[in-house]
Amino acid sequence: MSLLEKIERREARVAVVGAGYVGLPLAVEVATAGFPTVAYDKIAGKVARINAGDSYIKDVTSSVLAPLVQSGKLRASADPDILSSADVVVICVPTPLNKSKDPDNSFIIMAADDLLPRMHKDMLIILESTTFPGFTREILAPKLSASGLTVGKDLFLAFSPERVDPGNPKFQTKNTPKVVGGMTPACTEMIRSLYATFLDKLVPVSSTDAAEMVKLLENTFRAVNIGLVNEVAIMCKKLDLDTWEVIDAAATKPFGFMPFYPGPGLGGHCIPIDPHYLSWKLRTLHYNARFIELAGEINSSMPEVVIERVASALNDAERSVKGAKVLILGIAYKRDIDDVRESPALDVIQLLRGRGADVSYHDPGIPQIRLGEDDHGVFPADAPVMKSVPFEKLDGYDAVVIVTDHTSLDYARLVREAKLVVDTRNATRKVRSGAKARIVSL
């Protein structure tokens, strides 16, 4: 039976490599569509929790995961030999930056190394991990071709950029339009055949290079516009203007303007990282991606801007940063999630500690954090641990800094009880009337 026939009959065996924020939701959708699915991950704790029907991803509830596991449609494994029996392998592994801000595709290469000796004829391999334009064609395809299989004939290779937005109540894996691009027309048709069985809308493009560029354009667009509005916030401060008032008024224009909002910096697994993939690629072609570099410079400087706001506000209260008790409110990289990857809150904490402040944090979804991880999320043995403190005794802090505006937090209580609030997200805008706290905006 051909691979296409297996897909049509929903008998194709699918292995998702990497059971994180991208891989697990995808594996759940594949299994829900009726395909026998296995999530392959080298972290034993993830494997155990999946096989117990216990989800560690907020966008996948245990009530959805458990029945799939119990029915046998979905399981997890840390054994690479499960790839031998797969008809489809979807690679969803991290692609961070190294210390010099260059792409680190080592996790993709490790996945390919696991896969190579276990490949067989009539196999579809899909890369979803973000990378630079040309990676699938220039690096992954030649590596997998060492198996002796011919791409487009007995091996089908495609790229489909993940578009996961953790915590988004409207768009999840199933109903977010999915870009797909194959190495050959036959490869594109094969991924279309598979993904059309469980995704609402597909957007085919002409090549894997084009699909890779789509992902980078999406997040570069956001990074550049956020960089612009962050600089506007700096300018408004110097002009003694309310940034939020200016943006809200501009947003009433029904054409030609899309509102973006300033903040303490960029966080997450995409927007702070993806533009650097494009910038790096263009440097290899002797071109300087100036918008990307400038936006990156502005966005990465925002934690320092926050610190200066805090220092200035404390100074007005005749208090120095050194020795001041400061509470960071919210440390996830965006509201209502429990993910701290690349969160600017971590930089704000470190900068305040570096200036001698006594720093605590409160986040309802993150009970503790460790500071000082390296590029691969590994911490030194002596990495300091911080635990979330209760949301109480707010008047005991010299300053409370809102870094992440979780909707569950009681901002009305905050402005009634705190002495000083530095609001980097405009979270207190609806409760400022009658506030006892002095409120300083970004």
Catalytic center residues: 270
Phi and psi based region of residue 283 (left: phi greater than 0; alpha: psi -120 to 50; beta: remaining): alpha
**Three-state helix/strand/coil letters over the chain:** CCHHHHHHCCCCCEEEECCCCCHHHHHHHHHHCCCCEEEECCCHHHHHHHHCCCCCCCCCCHHHHHHHHHHCCEEEECCHHHHHHCCEEEECCCCCECCCCCECCHHHHHHHHHHHHHCCCCEEEEECCCCCCCHHHHHHHHHHHCCCCCECCCEEEEECCCCCCCCCCCCCCCCCCEEEEECCHHHHHHHHHHHCCCCCCEEECCCHHHHHHHHHHHHHHHHHHHHHHHHHHHHHHHCCCCHHHHHHHHCCCCCCCCCCCCCCCCCCCCCCCHHHHHHHHHHHCCCCCHHHHHHHHHHHHHHHHHHHHHHHHHHHCCCCCCCCEEEEECCCCCCCCCCCCCCHHHHHHHHHHHCCCEEEEECCCCCEEECCCCCCCCCCCCCCEEECCCCCCHHHCCEEEECCCCCCCCHHHHHHHCCEEEECCCCCCCCCCCCCCEEEEC
CA dist., res. 155 & res. 176, Å (int): 27
Of 385, 236, 200, 231, give the one whose Cα is nearest residue 302. Answer: 231
Strands 385-387, 368-370: parallel, antiparallel or unpaired by DSSP? Answer: antiparallel
